[in-house]
Structure 1
Amino acid sequence: MSLRFVIPLLAGVALAVSAHAQELKKLKGVVELFTSQGCSSCPPADAALQKLIAQGDVVALAYHVDYWNYMGWDDTMSSKDNTARQYAYARTLGRSNVYTPQAIVNGRDHLNGADLNAINVKLDQFDHNGKGLTVPVSAALNGDELEIKIGAGNGKANVVVAYFDREQVVSVDKGENTGHKIAYMHSVSDVETVGMWDGKPMSVVLPSSVMDKAGRKGLAVLLQSATPAGDPAAIVGAAVMTVGSGE
């Protein structure tokens, strides 16, 4: 995929960055839930994620892992890549193991994914302590292009795009959740790094056709730092966009 990186230098861009900053105030942070259709403890966390999405002030994503598949039900949205991302977070956080349901908040800490109150408290704490979303980020479709705009800030980070399906309803026929019909929101199907940010305002332009693959209905842009080993770390900016009818 060919990418075009644009470093905006025109005076008009300052107005755009200011507008993006206003949009940023609406977002408290990013919650990434690691879950599985085969995990009996996960449905409450899946429901909590729906509430986070409904709040409108959180970028909330679900990553279905594959290590529960041996229990008799293959999660229809699970992938090795999602599992690998969770283990990468474990290395970043100095942990030797992973679990479900696990919520990673702003790439900085983890909590039980079903504890909605604790998650919101953690988001508020990070925001108050300067560990929230401090860099303005936006994403918008413009004709046949998808433009991601990022404002100024400190440090360096990757521009990561997580593509997701807005909602899928699954009837689980085997495993620990046998007989349950569960609605899953914002389940990530693919993650890719589309650029690098060095603290200066920039834009990344992608073909809008990226939204057509595998029936994607939304995406989240994560401005995410990395450890020296390349594992995901603190998220300093984010935006979310859905297409079509629905939420």
Structure 2
Amino acid sequence: MKHARILILAISLFAALPAAARQPMSVADTSPVLVELFASHNCRACPKAHRTLAEVDSQRDDVLILTWSVDYWDYLGEKDPMAMSESKDRQRAYVDRFRLRGPYTPQTVYNGVEQCPGNKLPQVESALERTNRVAPSPAHLKRKGGKIELTGNVKELTDIFVIDYLDGDANPTDMVHPVTHVTSIGPWLGGRVEIDPSVCKSTCALVVQEAGFGRVLAAMDLPAR
């Protein structure tokens, strides 16, 4: 993971503006729940998790699912071709956040505030319900003209990630949106930010998250250009 050197070109900063309170019933202001699945090619329970999340993805339009492949089960079989060091680092941060004994697969994380095994649909649905009851986010992403606008007031340092993933015909796996690359395009301290969609080179997700892989404040998928 690296900070983009073209941050000044990709993001135009404006004077800080107070964020309007989010209206939960407004479609325009509602960010999807970011569901992150941590899985492995060598995990026996993971195929069921992929099927479970594929079902969730097909039935709901209020979720954005990303699959992170980890390599710590590679000793059990073949090397996982989709595994990245960023996946393991991200999951270990969640292990600390949720005070777990250690990482496991298939693990799902919901907006950085809930987690559960990803191979049991009732648990997944329950985690989504709990996540939706969390207080409204102070950050908002929306499309405005040819740009993406991020607004809000935040009390702590916040990261903006561009997460590339495979989708549609470009995805030869049984995973939902397997992640292929992650870029941090810089910290955000609130106010109004305009993001150029060109930061996304393929199909990707734009994720606004409290520093240290904390709560996800906003997420948006960007289709391939």
Q: Same fold (TM over 0.5)?
A: yes
Partner SS for 1:98: coil
| Unaligned segments of structure 2, at least 5 residues | none
Instruction: Report the aligned-residue RMSD.
Output: 2.9
CA distance in 2, matches of 1:164, 1:136: 22
Match of 2:43 among 35, 39, 42: 39
> How many residues matched?
211
- Measure how far apart 1:10 and its partner are: 11
Cα separation, partners in 2 of 1:242 and 1:141, compared to 1, 3 Å: farther
Cα separation, partners in 2 of 1:66 and 1:40, compared to 1, 3 Å: same
Partner SS for 1:138: strand
> For structure 1, which segment, 44-53 or 197-206, has the greater mean C-alpha deviation from structure 2 after superposition?
197-206
* Aligned counterpart, 1:51: 55
* Aligned counterpart, 1:169: 172
* Aligned counterpart, 2:81: 76
CA contact (8 A) 1:133 1:238 kept: no
Cα separation, partners in 2 of 1:148 and 1:96, compared to 1, 3 Å: farther
Cα separation, partners in 2 of 1:98 and 1:7, compared to 1, 3 Å: same
Q: Which has the higher contact order (CA 8 A, sep 6+)?
A: 2
* Aligned counterpart, 1:177: none
| Unaligned segments of structure 1, at least 5 residues | 171-182
CA distance in 2, matches of 1:225, 1:235: 6
Residue 201 (str. 1) matches residue 192 (str. 2): yes
Match runs of 1:123-138 below 5 Å:
123-130=128-135, 133-138=137-142
Kindly provide the CA deviation profile for residues 183-237 of structure 1, in whole angstroms up to 9, marking residues without a partner as x: 22210111121122222121233635x41xxxx4x111111002xxxx3111111
Match of 2:214 among 233, 237, 242: 233
Kindly provide the CA deviation profile for residues 117-160 of structure 1, in whole angstroms up to 9, marking residues without a partner as x: 32232222232231x65522136894xxxx43212233231111
Partner SS for 1:51: helix
CA distance in 2, matches of 1:61, 1:24: 21
CA distance in 1, matches of 2:137, 2:64: 11
* Aligned counterpart, 2:224: 243
CA distance in 2, matches of 1:140, 1:115: 38
Identity of counterpart residues, as a percentage? 23
- Measure how far apart 1:71 and its partner are: 1.4
Match of 2:13 among 7, 24, 31: 7
* Aligned counterpart, 1:152: 152
Normalising by structure 1, we get a TM-score of 0.74
CA contact (8 A) 1:140 1:241 kept: no
Kindly provide the CA deviation profile for residues 160-183 of structure 1, in whole angstroms up to 9, marking residues without a partner as x: 11111115334xxxxxxxxxxxx2
Normalized per residue, which structure has more strand?
1
